[in-house]
Chains A and B, each alone.
Chain A
Amino acid sequence: MSDSHPRVHDFATDFDHTDQAWVADPYPIWDDLRQRCPVAHSDRYGGAWLPVTHDLVSEVAYDTEHFTSRSVVVSERRPGPEDLPAPIGVAPPISSDPPYHGLVRRMLLPAFTPKPIAALEPFTRELCRELLAATDGRASFDAAVEYAQHIPVRVIVRFLGFPQEDADLFRDFIHLILEEVDLPAEEREERFAAVDAYMDAQIEDHLARPRDDLTSFLLAAEIDGHKLPVEHVRGTMSLLMIAGIDTTWSAIGASLWHLAQHPEDRRRLATEPELMGTALEELLRAYAPVTMARLVATDFDFHGHPFKEGDWLLLPFPAANRDPAAFDQPDLVQLDRAQNRHAAFGLGRHRCLGSNLARMELRVALQEWLARYPDFELSDPAAVTWSAGQVRGPRRLPLTIRDQGR
């Protein structure tokens, strides 16, 4: 939601993912573009493309020859020579291209399989209960601010082995990086430097006193017999923080927003706990928070469109998830949807590293919420606000509790 950007009148030729209309409700925009384009263009951000069908989104996700991940967040500033060059990029491995990408990813994958993630579940459950206990007896409160946003921050802070009291600091970092994309380049630079300084202090502390956490794991990790350069460790640590927080906060918030408006779905989840497996995937499909981005790596023709090296490409997995060619009645949330190849965690080699962590947090957050507050509704639909940028979720979500539950 940019003051500096003029309002969009035609998303086919001038799209902007920070425009008020997109932020408030992007689904009709994508439906319209699917009929008319289905690859939209914009001169904003120095030139950008937007495919909106499941087929085209998949095609781009699998094509690492014509598209580079050197930068995955569209902003006024393209990565320049001062940034780590491809294939490493500023935040490996999300910003890395193959074959280097595979090496870094393989190093990280063991930390994110179901088993180590399950070890974080008791902490997460206890945290959810604490947050809910703090709302005890109140008829209404903001579930995005007082519940959803705290969960992923505090879980990732624990996973990385940073002090719990720094959790608040991270929310500011993330807001800057993901949402304030229209700030002047110099101002963003300055604030990025502050993130780097925090990471450096953590690295020093962990080098001096290694412990059993993800930061020490990264500092001890080797690729081809070599420890990672410090800027690589810093990049990956910021990536885990950035990618792990706003995203899951959004998924939890959007799921509660849905449940607040669908009493039948609330009832089903409460009375058929075995439904949680498909329900989670369906909520992730319908309200997938994350849109990724690529840079065009080389001049080429993409389905009749003249893609030029350095053009941005917005990769809207949430739009792919609402494509009627890929999903039956895509705008209808069906908690028992049996066939659901959703792309909420991306497709191909950049599949979200933290998907098991995100699923665990979302499941525990919903289970604990529903156990305590089985019946609730939006206090005021007009008071709900959504984040701008490439991660979509409610940032203000006032709910009214109708039944105090247990």
Chain B
Amino acid sequence: MTHATLRVHVDPDKCQGHNRCYSVSPDLFELDDLGISSEAGAGLVPAGLVRLARLAVANCPEHAISLTEVAS
């Protein structure tokens, strides 16, 4: 039996450095020297952070963040 895990991803071509996702969850996202965001590590969302991942998606003004299901 598989059970879905979520992976969060920031499209670097769309991110303009608003830092909204980072302020929602510094655990899920990290910033480079220019303030451009990317997912931390492989982007796998721990069960306890799913709500924050969804919040980050819903608050990105550039629609740069996606959340997809990966089988695990």
| CB of B38 to closest CB in A, whole Å | 14
A105: nearest chain-B partner, CB-CB: B34
Q: Is the CB of A355 within 8 A of B19?
A: yes
B residues near A210, Cβ cutoff 8 Å? none
Question: Which of the residues A110, A339, A351 comes within 8 Å of B18, measured between beta carbons?
Answer: A351
Q: A341-B63, A348-B62 are in contact. Are A114 and B22 (CB under 8 A)?
A: yes
Bound together, the chains give a CA A343 to CA B62 distance in angstroms of 9
Bound together, the chains give a CA A339 to CA B57 distance in angstroms of 9
Q: Is the CB of A109 within 8 A of B35?
A: yes
Q: A339-B59, A340-B59, A342-B61 are in contact. Are A114 and B33 (CB under 8 A)?
A: no
Interface residues of A, count at CB 8 A:
22
A residues near B19, Cβ cutoff 8 Å? 113-114, 355-356
Central interface residue in A339, A341, A355, by most chain B CB within 10 Å: A341
Main secondary structure of the interface of A (DSSP, over half): helix
Q: Which chain B residues in 15-65 approach chain A with CB under 8 Å? A: 16-20, 22-24, 31, 33-35, 55, 58-63
Size bin of chain B's contact surface: 10 to 19
Known: A113-B31, A341-B63, A351-B18. 19 other contacts (CB 8 A): A106-B34, A112-B35, A113-B19, A113-B33, A113-B34, A114-B19, A114-B31, A281-B20, A338-B55, A339-B59, A340-B58, A347-B16, A348-B16, A351-B16, A351-B17, A351-B61, A355-B18, A355-B19, A356-B35
Tell me the B residues contacting A by CB distance below 8 Å.
Answer: 16-20, 22-24, 31, 33-35, 55, 58-63
- Which 8 A-B residue pairings sit nearest by Cβ, starting from the closest? A339-B58, A113-B35, A109-B34, A351-B16, A341-B61, A110-B33, A340-B59, A109-B35
